[in-house]
Amino acid sequence: MISDTEKKIFATIDDNRLLASCGGLVLAGSGGPDSMALLDFFVRHRARFAFPVVCATLDHGLRAESKKEVCMVRQFCQKHGVPFEELFVDIRQEIERLEKEEKRLSGELAR
């Protein structure tokens, strides 16, 4: 049985032709309730869609619990046969690198 919320999702997709020419869908899975609900929706209704669904997540290393959330999303995808891609970017390290580069370039421009 399809819930009222799911009916609204299907209606929005259909009315706006959101997936009319879709060759594949990459869902961003953060592990939060919104992204997990959307992932669950597409898993449960995958037979209605003629395209593959992949889940991807980006762990930016800002919160200790993010590793646990990535693991939860990965396990959900494995359980339901959804291809899963993950990327880790240490944002703090990247910011430090960019700040150093900015200082270096500023110094060159000042000469």
- Residue 55 contacts residue 43 (beta carbons within 8 Å): no
The chain-wide mean pLDDT, for the chain, equals 90
Report pTM. Answer: 0.77
- Residue 32 DSSP SS3: coil
pLDDT tens per residue across span 30-65: 999 999 999 999 999 999 988 999 999 998 888 888
pLDDT given for residue 29 in this prediction: 92
Phi first, then psi: give them for residue 87, nearest 5 degrees.
Answer: -135, 135
Kindly state the tokens that stand for 48: 């209605």
Which of 79, 39, 81, 80 shows the shortest CA–CA distance to 57?
39
